[in-house]
């Protein structure tokens, strides 16, 4: 069979040149799209959760609450952390607590719906204690399989990982430093992707509030630094 008759993708010098031939189907087209956005330019990726929200004070999940006073304090500390002539490209979710966290950076953030927190469906705005009281079967199912569990009329971690694909490609294609101001589930999934963590570990990764996680390229992987700001 001649090469021209085969289905293939050829990448030369990691994105300097990409050749595609006879591609058919969804998966090959997604692989091609991914390869077209890869490059070898070194840049840092920063992950941080939004500052403390009023719901964090009450241990409530989801919804769209504003920052607490301490959350705004973190937003100012974050701006001081990134002071300097070189500002990162900033991405937030569409939730106000992430946008408020970016308010003092002096950079216009780009809100991405793909970075919105996991949708808790009927459990939005509840505490885990309230969920256990109102939906005991749901609480038990979540405890048994945090990765695969889907909130009623909401999402699972697996759903979140899948919908993050366009955001990941957007981050991958950047040649400047990137700051993602996200949410706990979102940043767990992004961290797991870049650090190549097993999918089963993603729901359990440590992503505390008021901490900047810096990922630095190192050969074929990433090195991690953490900076608690409050």
Catalytic residues, which ones?
A: 49-50, 56, 97, 117, 183
pLDDT computed for residue 13 by the predictor: 73
- Size (the chain), residues: 230
Mind listing the pLDDT tens digit for each residue in 38-60? 777 889 999 999 999 999 999 99
- Domain limits of the chain? 3-36, 45-228
Q: Is the pLDDT of residue 24 over 90?
A: no
The contacts of residue 48 (CB under 8 Å, 6+ apart) are 78, 101, 179, 180, 181, 182, 187, 211, 212, 213
pLDDT computed for residue 20 by the predictor: 74
The per-residue pLDDT of the chain, averaged, comes to 92
Topology, domain 45-228:
Rossmann fold (3.40.50)
């Amino acid at each position: 069979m001649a090469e021209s008759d085969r289905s293939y993708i050829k990448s030369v010098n990691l994105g300097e040149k990409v050749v595609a031939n006879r591609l058919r189907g969804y998966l090959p087209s997604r692989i091609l799209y991914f390869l077209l956005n890869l490059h070898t330019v070194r840049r840092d990726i920063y992950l941080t959760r939004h500052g403390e929200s009023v719901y964090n004070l009450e241990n409530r999940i989801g919804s769209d609450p504003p920052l607490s006073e301490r959350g705004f304090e973190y937003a100012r500390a974050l701006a001081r952390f990134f002071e300097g002539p070189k500002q990162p490209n900033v991405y937030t979710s569409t939730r106000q607590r992430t946008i408020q966290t970016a308010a003092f950076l002096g950079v216009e953030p780009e809100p991405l719906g793909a970075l919105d927190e996991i949708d808790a469906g009927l459990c939005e705005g509840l505490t885990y204690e309230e969920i256990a009281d109102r939906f005991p079967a749901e609480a038990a199912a979540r405890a048994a399989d945090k990765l695969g569990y889907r909130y009623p009329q909401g999402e699972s971690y697996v759903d979140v990982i899948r919908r993050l694909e366009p955001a990941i490609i957007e981050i991958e294609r950047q040649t400047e430093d990137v700051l993602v101001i996200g949410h706990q589930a979102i940043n767990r999934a992004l961290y797991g992707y870049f650090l190549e963590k097993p999918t089963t570990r993603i729901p359990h990764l440590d992503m505390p509030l008021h901490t900047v996680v810096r990922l630095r390229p190192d050969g074929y992987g990433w090195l991690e630094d953490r900076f608690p700001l409050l």
